[in-house]
Homo-oligomer: A and B are copies of this chain.
């Protein structure tokens, strides 16, 4: 057996072992959660970090390709999607569609009914022709089962030119642009081809998806097309920069159930075939579905929650965990850009979203995976020059704010992840902090770095100057901590100093009773009071701390802040919250500011900048108020319905926030502790990789008893309102005594600030 085969054998063997102690956590996963409203998660199946993500498409502009709207006809099932994203869609390559006709037409669509969705499974009935479609998937191979119920014509199209969100003019900045496609019928049951596209939300470079498709029945005749010309029996439509595809007609006399396996690769069609042969040798749909369920079971069973928890909570929790583990995507062995023995991950979409809670969650339950992801970031740095923020389609296309891969590294270091070259990592971080990315100052690294280094802040010359300044300051803190850990005192002091740069944009103005906000400043040091609009007819609007005006007065990416206001970002000093409290006027003012923030709906549940903010009450000795806010947020904003995620899930970022808080923990990413707050779940057991486990028990938890009265860790009184990573991974039991009233627990301690 070769290495790959051994791996697969071990995987299948482990499935047998797991099957014996079957827990079926995966049955709590409902992939429909987040598919309506703002969530934008994929509804189709995927393996954990799976490369192929087959699923239905009924909208070329929907981020997941699919809108839960029965009036929209389905146009096909494409093989790549991203989950939970916003902005211009990406992927949607290589589309398959069924039809029950002997007439060849390129455009095919059908209304749908009887949608069935479960982990690893998507099923639907195409009303036109009465065809049932079921999909499951391996990491790189999708498996489709089609039942032609009216037993007449059985036809299938493979559209090698298909993808989402096609742009016609280069001015459409988040559109995908067609480059070329190819299709070839290589036998009476096999089709290969490729699809090359560039752009998409992250404005990435070109990428090519190769595919190999095989059927369990031969087709008896076929046509292929190029552009709008369909040609019968033409086996090859080679790539001339036009759209190509195939229309396959199967024998009526054959089984009414037709099966197709389709694998993808970013290397070649031969590699795609090899992926298929390696992953799925059989034609047993149910067997593959079971294998996929077991792949997930291995991941989901890392955290065991209270068996008596309401099904609503079980669904929310395990679906949250599932969403967190969809992306980035493991493309090891599929990197067309360089040869490396290191793992290769793509679709960091975006680290700006996921560094806060997704990465820390993965570190906790699968540090080997997180180590692989960090190593892939460093390999990208070595070969592409910078670590990415929003890498997708093999391209560091875009940054939203800071160079937050720095936080991912610092988090790994703070939590002792082994097998990472931290000296190389420090170089990668210092490159972010010292070498301007150039061009549009948005592809990678730190845009506006010249300003930051010379002025100590980003001036209004650059978009997202506020977001960038406060995030660079935290990124600098992360660099300082790593430098300190590696004994590099020069860089420690330098970046420690820079980590206070948020103060350079702190303006002593009042708004809604709070004083002091991160506000825009020009390069001469003059505060900016109003913004010149480019989008609407008002020439100037006053800069208001409650409103970023991005998307209204200036473009979405052009505001002083990204996805937030001065209210949001003036809480973002995770490196030194005590200092922030001083700046706001002390503990009382800070409490009042937080109260105003939540009470006046200035808090934005749907985007990431506020992820840590509900926990900030901890720093004024009021963890009860943190818990109260978090409980309110979860109750009001999250549920197990298709609309159960209150914003773009952002590759599971929102979901990971929920998972942590349901257990009563939340990380301050980049630092080595978790804040403790009132759990939603009575019990959570984290199975640690050192074969220990850590259990959190919320004793007497009820809707009334929602305050932590006292705590014990391994039967000893525990007065900290945070848990260090070491305390957690040493294993044990944290018992939180719940009560209907806030007590003194946590009143006299504040979480640590590492100097």
- Chain A interface residues toward B at CB < 8 A: 170, 177-180, 182, 184, 194, 196, 198, 205-206, 208, 236, 238-241, 267-268, 270-271, 273-274, 333, 336-339, 382-383, 385-386, 435-441, 445, 450
Q: List 8 A-B contacts (CB under 8 A).
A: A178-B339, A180-B339, A182-B270, A206-B336, A238-B267, A238-B274, A239-B270, A435-B438
CA–CA, A239 and B208, complex, Å: 15
Quick check: A206 and B271 within 8 Å, CB to CB? no
Known pairs A337-B205, A338-B206; A236 contacts B270 (CB<8 A):
yes
CA–CA, A328 and B239, complex, Å: 23
CB distance from A391 to the nearest CB of B (A): 15
Known pairs A182-B268, A437-B438; A238 contacts B273 (CB<8 A):
yes
Q: Which residues of the other chain, B, contact A239 by a CB distance below 8 angstroms? A: 267-268, 270-271
Q: Which residues of the other chain, B, contact A339 by a CB distance below 8 angstroms? A: 177-180, 241
Given contacts A206-B336, A206-B338, A236-B270, 14 further A-B contacts (CB under 8 A): A170-B382, A179-B339, A180-B336, A182-B271, A198-B338, A205-B337, A208-B336, A386-B439, A435-B438, A435-B440, A437-B438, A438-B439, A438-B441, A438-B445
Most chain B CB inside 10 Å of its own CB: which residue of A196, A273, A274, A339: A339
CB distance from A676 to the nearest CB of B (A): 43
CA–CA, A450 and B238, complex, Å: 46
Q: Which residues of the other chain, B, contact A385 by a CB distance below 8 angstroms? A: 439-440
CA–CA, A205 and B333, complex, Å: 18
Quick check: A177 and B441 within 8 Å, CB to CB? no
Q: Which residues of the other chain, B, contact A178 by a CB distance below 8 angstroms? A: 339
Q: Which residues of the other chain, B, contact A438 by a CB distance below 8 angstroms? A: 435-439, 441, 445
CA–CA, A208 and B337, complex, Å: 10
Residue of B180, B267, B336, B435 near A267 (CB, 8 A) is B180
Quick check: B268 and A206 within 8 Å, CB to CB? no
CA–CA, A386 and B441, complex, Å: 14
Q: Which residues of the other chain, B, contact A179 by a CB distance below 8 angstroms? A: 336-339
CA–CA, A267 and B441, complex, Å: 31
Quick check: A439 and B450 within 8 Å, CB to CB? no
Q: Which residues of the other chain, B, contact A337 by a CB distance below 8 angstroms? A: 179, 198, 205-206
Known pairs A177-B338, A441-B438; A194 contacts B268 (CB<8 A):
yes
A-B pairs with the 7 shortest C-beta distances?
Answer: A438-B438, A238-B270, A437-B438, A241-B339, A436-B438, A239-B267, A206-B337
* Chain B: CB-nearest residue to A196: B336
* Chain B: CB-nearest residue to A447: B438
Q: Which residues of the other chain, B, contact A240 by a CB distance below 8 angstroms? A: 271, 333
Q: Which residues of the other chain, B, contact A196 by a CB distance below 8 angstroms? A: 336
Residue of B333, B382, B386 near A241 (CB, 8 A) is B333
Q: Which residues of the other chain, B, contact A336 by a CB distance below 8 angstroms? A: 179-180, 196, 206, 208
* Chain B: CB-nearest residue to A272: B238
CA–CA, A268 and B436, complex, Å: 36
CB distance from A51 to the nearest CB of B (A): 16
Q: Which residues of the other chain, B, contact A440 by a CB distance below 8 angstroms? A: 385, 435
Most chain B CB inside 10 Å of its own CB: which residue of A206, A208, A439, A440: A439
Q: Which residues of the other chain, B, contact A205 by a CB distance below 8 angstroms? A: 337
* Chain B: CB-nearest residue to A4: B240
* Chain B: CB-nearest residue to A208: B336
Q: Which residues of the other chain, B, contact A333 by a CB distance below 8 angstroms? A: 240-241
CB distance from A279 to the nearest CB of B (A): 15
